[in-house]
Amino acid sequence: MARRKGTTKVDYLNRNRQRVIAATGLRGTDFNQRIYVLKCEDCGNEYGSNGSDNWQRKCPRCQGGAAGLTY
């Protein structure tokens, strides 16, 4: 069983310098997921992400990551 590492907690920072800044409560695009707002620490871009993806997201503006979700 995987241990939860707090990847959906506000202020979580992933290895690609993407910080969780808000939980929207909106339905995500993956099964049983919600959308979270991430902010890139490098360029300041804010975008939506499924909670299950927060740990691995890259910024769509400056790191070539997938487009963010609408929130």
pLDDT confidence of residue 4: 57
Domain that holds residue 30: 18-53
Residues 7-14, mean pLDDT to the nearest whole number: 97
36 part of a folded domain: yes
24 part of a folded domain: yes
35 part of a folded domain: yes
59 part of a folded domain: no
d(C-alpha 50, C-alpha 52), whole Å: 5
pLDDT confidence of residue 2: 46
pLDDT confidence of residue 5: 77
pLDDT confidence of residue 36: 98
Count: domains in the chain: 1
End-to-end CA distance of the chain: 31
